[in-house]
Amino acid sequence: MVKKILIAEDEKPLSRALELKLTSEGYEVSAAYNGKEAINKLKAEKFDLLLLDLVMPELDGFGVLEAIKKEGIKVSTIVLTNLSQDQDKEKVKKLGAKDFFIKSDSPISSIVQIVKKI
């Protein structure tokens, strides 16, 4: 069965690069460019994994994580962000994220490896 991944990332070039790489690895990939769009897609379809940026328009990644919890949406979440403070890392883990990456420190290939593990 093909695993479905939702990329919630407002930087379209990065989102597109992740989408192309993950699609070439055999995943079915959708993209959302703001937090509200991500929540709407998560409500409409079942995804196996969410790659989530924290800084997005309309609803940030923390808001998305809180909405997932409140709505009871079951999806594994990996946070990709340029926020690198420990309190942000702790907050996303408390809200249920499986992993946390700093975008500027993480090549796409290493993100794909983590996706394969999860």
Say if residues 4 and 46 touch (Cβ distance below 8 Å): yes
Say if residues 25 and 116 touch (Cβ distance below 8 Å): yes
Token output for 108: 């796409």
**What is the per-residue pLDDT for 51?**
97
Q: Are strands 49-53 and 4-8 parallel, antiparallel or unpaired?
A: parallel
**What pTM did the predictor assign?**
0.94
CATH of the domain at 70: 3.40.50.2300
Percent of the chain with pLDDT strictly greater than 90? 74
Lowest mean pLDDT among 39-53, 65-79, 92-106: 92-106
Residues 6+ apart with CB under 8 A from 35: 8, 56, 57, 58, 59, 60, 61, 63, 64, 67
How many domains, in total, are found in the chain? Answer: 1
Q: Per residue in 11-67, pLDDT tens?
A: 999 999 999 999 999 999 999 999 999 999 999 999 999 999 999 999 999 999 999
Expressed as residue numbers, the domain containing 41 is 4-117
